[in-house]
Each structure stands twice: as C-alpha cells, then as structure tokens.
Structure 1
C-alpha cells in the first residue's frame, strides 16, 4: 500500500501551465521546472509527487535560472500552474540571425527564438558573428550605459532612432540608424553632448536635407562629415 502511494503515476504531476512569460518562452520555463522536479528525494520519493514536491525548491531554482520579478506556484490536481512576472529588459542584442535579451550591464539573459512585433525594444546589432551564452557579457557596462543614455536623448528631440550597430572590438564606432533612412556615427569615448550639439546644429541649418543623406559623422572634433546617397 505504501509503495502504491509513493510510486503510482496517479499521484505525480502530469501537466504544467505557464502564464505571464514574455521574453522567456513558456516552454523554456516548463523544461526548467520539469528538470527541477525530476529524480527522487532521499533516493526514494519522486520529486514531482503531488504531496511531496517542494514549492520552495522549485521557486529557488527558477529564480536562480531566470530573471524573474515574481513567481506564483499553484497545484490544481495533477497540473502545476506557474504565474511568472519577468524583470523585463527592453534591450535586444542581434548577432547574425540570433537574438538575445541583454540587461543594462551588457550581460546576456537569454536567447530569443523570435521577437513579437508588439514588443517595444531597443535593438542593438553586433557587427561580429557571435553566439554568447546566458551570463556572458557582450558589451561593457560603461558603453551600454552610453548607448541607452544617447537613445534617450535622441528620442526626446526631433530624431527617431530605430536601431544601433556596434563592434565590441572597436571602441570608437557606434552607428545609429534613423527612421528617415540615414545613419549617424558617434564615438562612445567622446562626450555625448559635444557630438549631439554638432548633430543638432547641422540639422537645423537651412541647407540640411536629411532625406538625401546616407550618413552623418560627428566623431571628429568640430567637423561634421556628410555622405549623400
């Protein structure tokens, strides 16, 4: 009788339901939860037994593995219901065909299979082919802070940046692609305001015609370089 109680499949979790996942795929969270509850306690009791599974241990595992703000665990019969709220980063790092969510320090949180059209994110494209793993740094924290501050200032003005391009091995290169079709080159090692002032002054001039530009380069002292299409 005790053996039946401990080992019958009828008293083990069968299905998992994940709600609230946004950037982290629900299937990824489910696999992690199943892996956490695989095996046995004290070499005897299945970890996914309805009466013995550890909600605390499962929660700790998922918090350690993912960047979660909140996690609610509820068992409904043989179904385990997980409600998650992510600590959302709005920065996506693109390297080749791969997409990664990164935090404000340039550290990879997880890889994305796809990016939903309704996600308002900052897209940073790497000019290098790379496949970083979660926890690896793709950009140093100082440069990442520079990029995010620059985007904020550009969006507060009349400009509308749509994406960034960087080369993590080239510290003096940053390309900002604008909605109007032209690009602006910045140097992240040079004070931001100096370069922004040169850009704004140039765009305010009577001769400015951004729709005809391929790029504007504000990296070199007081000079502004323009290439027309």
Structure 2
C-alpha cells in the first residue's frame, strides 16, 4: 500500500489557498491599499495647502492704492483712512489687502460718511485699489458749537474743517490760534480768502449732510458778499439767529453792521445800502448798524 505524504497535501492546499507569499514582494491588493492611502493623504494635504496659498501666498494681494480727484482735502488724509481700512482683518484672520476680502463697498461708505463727496467710486484694477472722488463745491463756511464746516451751494454741510483749515479761519477771525505742525499747514490747499463765514448764534450741533440754510439764502448771501466787496466793504463774518433763518447780520471791518434779508431782492437791498453809504459818507464811523431788510424802511443807528 502506497504511503500518503500528508505534509505535501497540506502544503498543496495552502498553495491553492494562496497563503504562501514572498515577504520581499507586495501583493497587488496591498499595493492598491497603499496607493489609496497615499492618495487620501495627498488630497488632505492639498485641501489644506491650496487655501493657505490662495489666502496668504500673496497671489491676490493688493500692491498699491491711489486717490484721484481731491482739490481741498489733503491726499494724505484720505490715504490714511484707506490704509486703516486695509489694516483690519476679516474675522481677525485674513487681511483686507487680499482682493477677495477688501470689501470696496464698505470702504466707499466709510469715506462717503466722513467727507460727503459729490461722487466717489472704489474699485480694484489688477493689484491696485483705485479711489476716484469728486468734492462738493464749497462757497460758504458754517461756524457753530465750537466747530467749523463747509457748506455746498444748497446750504448743506458736507464736511467738517480739518485742524489746518480751522487754524486759517480762526486767524482770519482773530480768534484762538490752534497749534498745527508746519508740514500739516503746507499740506492743505490755500482757502479762498473771501470765503463767507456764517456764525450760528444759537450754537446748535449740526450733522454732516444736514441743511442749515436754504439754497435761495445761500445764493443770495454769496451775491450780497460780492456786492459788498465791490462797494469796498470788507465782511468779517455773517451771523444768523439760528439755522434756516433768512435774516442775517454781517459784521464789517469798517466797524458797522449790516442787516439784510436772505430771501429779499438783493439788487434792491444793495441799492438801498449804496444810497446810505453815499448820504452818510462823512459819518460812517459814527454808525453802529444799517438795517435794509424792510424795503422802503431803512433803519440806521
């Protein structure tokens, strides 16, 4: 009887079950598992690295900013506001110098609230933040509650004066002189030397964008101021009882005051004033005020 080789039979079955393998060679299944593992790790690293590169790698960072269109507001003043906006971080993580998080509309609103421009646009072109502005035309100044403001032709306050500008106005009025660095004084364009200044005697607090005199009164005052200068009268300051009141008093360097109606006919009132100046030519130094508000009734003291 033939003797059976049980060892051979066991090894044969193990071979058929693929239980034998060379430790120096990986199976196809293990290779696939390892490749899949590396793929997952690679994807995770990519998901982490790509946002970091996009957000902090400088590819989308603003390199420069510019401001165009300023006429009276110092360039450095507006640039400081822009830089302060860009210095903040979105969620305290991502700098706003990144184009995706600059938020031009927020910056535009901030600048508009402070300076009340006639027009303003804030846009990103390439790696530059561009701010284009158009200032409101200032023909009048408003003095109230210890502050000085610029008015537009509609009688609305469009911005508060800068310290350098206040110093110039106070110097004209002979008031308290503010200490301002020489370099700051040089950065402000020269103010119109004949800019009419209106003082609110009620000292009411005003807001940017608020109307303090009507457009009609604003236009009349500018016309009246020009006519006074043509008559060789130097206005110092115009005084109004409170906002929206049309009656004004102008104090002159000649020593007398002139009271006029901001809603009245300027040509008629100037004609009355001229006749008084001619009639009292030799006695003007004795006059305290001339009141031409009531058409045919002129009051002199």
- Tell me: CA distance 1:222–1:207, structure 2 relative to 1, closer, same or farther (3 Å): same
Counterparts of 1:224 and 1:83 in 2: how far apart (Å)?
51
Aligned-pair CA distance for 1:216: 1.4
Counterparts of 1:54 and 1:219 in 2: how far apart (Å)?
56
- The TM-score, its normalising length taken from structure 2, stands at 0.58
Stretches of structure 2 that go unaligned for 5 or more consecutive residues are 1-48, 169-189
What does residue range 197-208 of structure 1 map to in structure 2 within 5 Å?
197-205=271-279, 207-208=281-282
SS of alignment partner, residue 198 of structure 1? helix
Cross-structure match for 2:154? 105
Aligned-pair CA distance for 1:167: 2.2
- The TM-score, its normalising length taken from structure 1, stands at 0.72
SS of alignment partner, residue 270 of structure 2? helix
- Tell me: CA distance 1:181–1:206, structure 2 relative to 1, closer, same or farther (3 Å): closer
Counterparts of 1:9 and 1:215 in 2: how far apart (Å)?
72
Stretches of structure 1 that go unaligned for 5 or more consecutive residues are none
RMSD: 4.1
Cross-structure match for 1:226? 300
Matched, 1:67 2:125: no
Aligned-pair CA distance for 1:200: 0.3
- Tell me: CA distance 1:3–1:92, structure 2 relative to 1, closer, same or farther (3 Å): same
What does residue range 1-80 of structure 1 map to in structure 2 within 5 Å?
1-8=49-56, 20=70, 22-23=72-73, 26-27=76-77, 30-31=80-81, 34-35=84-85, 40=90, 47-49=96-98, 51-52=99-100, 57=105, 61=109, 64-65=112-113, 66-68=116-118
Aligned-pair CA distance for 1:98: 0.8
Matched, 1:88 2:131: no
- Pick the structure with more strand per residue: 1
Farther-moved stretch of structure 1 (11-20 vs 133-142): 11-20
What does residue range 156-175 of structure 1 map to in structure 2 within 5 Å?
156-168=230-242, 171=245, 173-175=247-249
Counterparts of 1:45 and 1:225 in 2: how far apart (Å)?
70
